[in-house]
Amino acid sequence: MKGRKWLYLICLSAFVWMVAACSGGNDETTGDQSIEGEPSEGETSEAVSPEDLEGDLTILIHRTDIVDTVFEGYKEAFQERHPNVEISFEAITDYQGQVNIRMNTTDYGDVLMLPDNILPRDFPTFFEPLGNTDELLDKYLFADIASFERVTYGIPITINANGIVYNKDIFEEAGVTEIPSTHEEFIEAMKLVKENTDAIPLYTNYGDTWPLSQWEANRLSISGDPDFNNELVRTARPFEEGEPHYQLYKLMYDVVEQELTENDPLTTDWESSKQMLANGEIATMVLGSWAITQIQDMAADPSSIGYMPFPYTHDDGTIYSTVGSDFAVGINVHSDSKEAARAWIDYFVDESNYAVDEGGISPLIGEPYPETLASFDELGVEFISDNPPNEGEEGLLDDIDNQSEVGLWAENFKQRIVEAAIGNRSESYDDIMEDLNVRWQEAQEQLYQGE
């Protein structure tokens, strides 16, 4: 995958991806705005030597699991170079929800992961400019994921592939000899797990809600078209049978309806689910590649945890995996320690090796491909990413999604699907899809001004 496919990923670095990773992403708008008087990447606005740089930084992070271990190591390494910068981490479980609330004030840390529901036009209100987007794209993959008018306000901390984390030992015990590459093959594999092992075939993580949004990234794997988002703003009924969204969530419905998930999805728990998959009590979970190392670290044999692409094969035999930015890291526009904050971002993104250590792809162009995704090479998986929005349509997809209240990156309709599949709702899968079509069409007709 380091050859043609890796080059393909680099060539796609200017494309905007809508996330997760746990995240949803935003479209950026175009323009020729430059940043006069702002430091370029990797530099402060004045020539301050590392040992003379001062500041007190509060850094908001979402990694509650490694804040007291891994991040303390980053802090120590950073302070060896910048001894006069004091750092405190604030790890938040409900990261997006809590940070959204705090952004109603000026108190949302000095450095933070940008919540993925901030509209691009609002970036300048909340975040410090980090540099010209076109220049940063020469250095970072997806440097335009958090940009507005060609100014970047957040740099990706890692690039995620998307697919399914699975336990190899459970697959072997179940008699699953090949990685499923179609909807039908996946259902059959889950049935074998249920029949031949004590493991839960697929764990929905319904109880924590946000993991359900991890499914959304795989829409592009099914579409196979990097212009899918641009076509989506023109599509009146994107949840029609045969469309990528219909096919994507039909798998969610089918595995739940056929009782191939946990007995009571309403009582799931994210943190314990990782340990359960590591222990072989769960066979699969739909998650971004960021989750691989978290689960491997909990396993007695890390090599027992594998990663597979979403089970969909195109007519030409191609299997895709959507790649895109995880959280982007930025600076609070109200921070009193902006130079120190920028120094931290440069260290964290460029030098800490966080991305690869946590199972992702480094945002630095040209860095080695992570071993956690080596199996994709064996399967011949192709990476794919969204093209940027068409000129004049920047932010339109977000606007249609918000006005329709469909919530492509929210948990809303995914919860409805699970609840309908277990019989807690009287509506069918097709009823849910039709409701989404109606709401999307109304918003699309109001907002889309194309011919």
List pLDDT tens digits, range 70-88: 999 999 999 999 999 999 9
d(CA 140, CA 423): 46
Instruction: List pLDDT tens digits, range 318-333.
Output: 999 999 888 999 999 9
Under the banding of pLDDT at 50, 70 and 90, the label for residue 31 is very low
Under the banding of pLDDT at 50, 70 and 90, the label for residue 152 is very high
Q: 168 in helix, strand or coil? A: helix
Q: Phi first, then psi: give them for residue 335, nearest 5 degrees.
A: -60, 145
**Using DSSP, how many helices (H) and how many strands (E) does the chain show?**
18, 13
d(CA 100, CA 117): 9
Name the CATH code of domain 162-325+385-451 (choices 3.60.21.10, 3.40.50.300, 3.40.190.10, 3.20.20.450).
3.40.190.10
**Taking the CB of residue 121, how many other CB atoms lie within 10 A of it?**
15
Average pLDDT value for residue range 289-293: 91
Average pLDDT value for residue range 134-150: 93
Domain ranges of the chain: 4-158+326-379, 162-325+385-451
Distances (CA, A) of 364 to 4, 64, 136, 212, 378: 18, 25, 10, 29, 24
Under the banding of pLDDT at 50, 70 and 90, the label for residue 41 is very low
d(CA 166, CA 371): 16
pLDDT above 70: percentage of residues in the chain:
89
> Tokens representing 444?
């699309």
Q: Which of 351-365, 403-417, 418-432 shows the lowest per-residue confidence on average (mean pLDDT)?
A: 351-365
Assess whether pLDDT exceeds 90 at residue 387: no
Tell me, what's the pLDDT at 341? Answer: 98
Tell me, what's the pLDDT at 204? Answer: 97
Tell me, what's the pLDDT at 42? Answer: 42
Q: Are 282 and 305 in contact (CB under 8 A)?
A: no
Q: Which has more pLDDT, 162 or 28?
A: 162
Assess whether pLDDT exceeds 50 at residue 30: no
Average pLDDT value for residue range 146-169: 95
As a whole number, the mean pLDDT across the chain is 88
Instruction: List pLDDT tens digits, range 268-288.
Output: 999 999 999 999 999 999 999
Under the banding of pLDDT at 50, 70 and 90, the label for residue 420 is very high
Assess whether pLDDT exceeds 80 at residue 13: no
Q: Are 404 and 443 in contact (CB under 8 A)?
A: yes
Tell me, what's the pLDDT at 424? Answer: 95
d(CA 399, CA 346): 32
**Taking the CB of residue 264, how many other CB atoms lie within 10 A of it?**
10
Tell me, what's the pLDDT at 139? Answer: 96
Average pLDDT value for residue range 150-169: 96
Distances (CA, A) of 412 to 113, 116, 206, 247: 23, 16, 11, 18
d(CA 88, CA 60): 9
Assess whether pLDDT exceeds 70 at residue 367: yes
Assess whether pLDDT exceeds 70 at residue 251: yes
Assess whether pLDDT exceeds 70 at residue 245: yes
Under the banding of pLDDT at 50, 70 and 90, the label for residue 49 is confident
Tell me, what's the pLDDT at 22? Answer: 37
Under the banding of pLDDT at 50, 70 and 90, the label for residue 395 is confident
Query: Could you check whether 4-158+326-379 and 162-325+385-451 share the same CATH topology?
Result: yes
Tell me, what's the pLDDT at 47? Answer: 61
What predicted TM-score, i.e. pTM, was given to this entire model?
0.76
Tell me, what's the pLDDT at 318? Answer: 96
Tell me, what's the pLDDT at 56? Answer: 97
Tell me, what's the pLDDT at 33? Answer: 31
Q: So what's the architecture of 4-158+326-379 in CATH?
A: 3-Layer(aba) Sandwich (3.40)
| Residue where the block lists tokens 């993991």 | 211
Q: Are 244 and 217 in contact (CB under 8 A)?
A: no
Under the banding of pLDDT at 50, 70 and 90, the label for residue 449 is low
